[in-house]
């Protein structure tokens, strides 16, 4: 999806992750394993950078280090996937369309923002449930329910829409969901109490129950629920974005972008309801592998990266 690769020859690689907080991150383990598997000297550091405006000076410092060649590549996570858009020189086509970036690289004298979340999500969803993402010719488009509307949600919505899915976006703040839905105007509309040209609804019991009921009445297959919120992430592992009083749609697959802990409260609840549920650990590894390839121009050792992340089931 528009990902480009740059061959970099260095005696020592310096990579890192910008975000806040970062205590849960497995990225240093994953990228260190990749460097070691290819016998490359280097490091992957965590750069805890508070949200804007507090983190503005630190963001500028880190981007300056990339421009000077002191850092050879950076990842970005919550809350900077969108705040960095205006601080780079160029965006890949995917990052521009998605409106979020998660990978930074210097090409010549241009600082470029890439998005590897979208292909990472697509690759891991295919690994988890082969054939789920594909919409066959003549088939009615299934519906995916995306929880959250941040940078990761944008990558997920982009991927699903490109595959021919319909998407509904459920958020705590309706305007954020409306903004995301309006950024992808091809999405179908659901919900009588929301903006008619969007799929946004509130992440609340009544709205979700209405959506699920309308899908059942209209013969729409609600086939996938994707959590892109940080709810359930360590250390707040008891948090669950799915309202307790809402029954899960039958036969839906649940995919939780949260990867630490390995089984979130959302996944546990979904499995008790008889649904297949997967964590975002595989997506984390795949997006990291794509970023590693962008930075080095070398094939990423995905097996070693998965094992380092503890993704032994699907390694």
User: Which positions are catalytic?
Assistant: 81
Is 71:14 a contact under the CB 8 Å cutoff?
A: yes
Would you say the C-alpha torsion 237, 239, 245, 248 has a positive or negative sign? negative
User: CA 235, CA 272: separation in Å to the nearest integer?
Assistant: 23
Cα Rg, the chain, nearest whole Å: 19
148 conformational bin, left if phi > 0, alpha if psi -120 to 50, beta if neither: left
DSSP 8-state assignment for residue 248: P
Determine the straight-line distance between the first and last CA of the chain, rounded to whole angstroms: 24
| Alpha carbons within 13 A on the beta-carbon side of 18 | 30
The alpha helices in 231-301, defined as continuous H runs, are 265-272, 281-296
């Amino acid at each position: 999806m528009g990902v480009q690769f740059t061959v970099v020859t260095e005696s020592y690689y310096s990579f890192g992750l910008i975000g806040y907080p970062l205590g849960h991150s497995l990225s240093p383990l994953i990228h260190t394993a990749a460097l070691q598997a290819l016998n490359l000297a280097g490091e992957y550091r965590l750069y805890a950078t508070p949200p804007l405006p507090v983190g503005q000076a630190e963001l500028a410092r880190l981007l300056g280090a990339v421009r000077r060649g002191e850092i050879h590549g950076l990842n970005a996570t919550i809350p900077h996937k969108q705040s960095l858009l205006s601080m780079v020189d160029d965006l890949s086509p995917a990052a521009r369309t998605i409106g979020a970036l998660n990978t930074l690289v210097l090409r010549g004298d241009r600082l470029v923002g890439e998005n590897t979340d979208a292909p990472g999500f697509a690759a891991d969803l295919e690994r988890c449930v082969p054939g789920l993402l594909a919409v066959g010719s003549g088939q009615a488009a299934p519906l995916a329910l995306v929880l959250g509307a941040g940078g990761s949600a944008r990558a997920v919505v982009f991927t699903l829409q490109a595959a021919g899915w319909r998407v509904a976006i459920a958020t705590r703040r309706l305007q954020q969901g409306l903004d995301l839905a309006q950024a992808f105007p091809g999405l179908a509309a659901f919900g009588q109490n929301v903006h008619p040209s969007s799929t946004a609804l509130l992440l609340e019991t009544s709205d979700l129950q209405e959506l699920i009921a309308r899908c059942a009445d209209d013969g729409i297959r609600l086939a996938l629920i994707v959590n892109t919120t940080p709810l359930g992430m360590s250390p707040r592992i008891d948090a669950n974005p799915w309202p307790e009083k809402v029954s899960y749609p039958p036969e839906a697959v649940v995919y939780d972008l949260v990867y630490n802990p390995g089984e979130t409260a959302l996944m546990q609840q979904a499995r008790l309801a008889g649904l297949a549920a997967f964590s975002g650990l595989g997506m984390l590894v795949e997006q990291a592998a794509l970023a590693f390839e962008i930075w080095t121009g070398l094939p990423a050792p995905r097996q070693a990266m998965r094992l380092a992340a503890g993704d032994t089931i699907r390694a």
